[in-house]
Amino acid sequence: MAPRKTNSTGSSKQLMASLKTLALGFPGAWADNPWGDSVVKVGKKIFVFLGEGAEDSGITVKVPESHEHAMSFAGAMPTGYGLGKAGWVTIPVAGVSADDAEVLHDFVEESYRTIAPKKMIKELDAQREADSDGRG
């Protein structure tokens, strides 16, 4: 599949902040900085790496169901250190369109659902159901 074309809308910093806020909103999620990397964990397991440097803003997520889709983003690559073989993908956020930014949010949620204990996923589903019931 050919890499997606990108159209810059909004800043990479804003998108990274949005992705981090989303990740930290999941049940049991917490920020950590092992090895100097900004990550979000659930329990003791990392579910998203947040590359927040000036030149390397991007995310690394485990997306077994959306792997091919994730790899279609411009600059996306299997994650190093052998993680790519386990379904991890690193995706730069520079120049990502507004529509694709929403997809990145979906990838972060998929990664959470892949890593999180079933109890936490049930809690997330219950929150989502309560939110949708409240809308009306």
Number of domains in the chain: 1
Segments forming the whole domain that contains residue 26: 12-135
At 1, the pLDDT band (50, 70, 90 cuts) reads very low
Check if the beta carbon of residue 101 is closer than 8 Å to that of residue 18.
Answer: yes
Check if the beta carbon of residue 58 is closer than 8 Å to that of residue 92.
Answer: yes
The enclosing domain of 131 has a CATH number of 3.90.1150.30
Say if 75 falls within a structural domain: yes
Question: 36-78, pLDDT tens digit by residue?
Answer: 889 999 999 999 999 876 566 899 999 999 999 999 999 999 9
Long-range contacts of 36-44 (CB under 8 A, 24+ apart): 42/112, 42/115, 42/116, 42/117, 42/120, 43/116, 43/117, 43/120
pLDDT at 30: 98
Question: 77-107, pLDDT tens digit by residue?
Answer: 999 988 989 999 999 998 888 889 999 999 9
The one-letter amino acid at 70: A
Say if 51 falls within a structural domain: yes
Say if 5 falls within a structural domain: no
Tell me the mean pLDDT in the region 108-127.
Answer: 97
Say if 20 falls within a structural domain: yes
Say if 2 falls within a structural domain: no
Say if 6 falls within a structural domain: no
Helix (H) or strand (E) holding 69: helix 67-71
Say if 70 falls within a structural domain: yes
pTM above 0.75, yes or no: yes
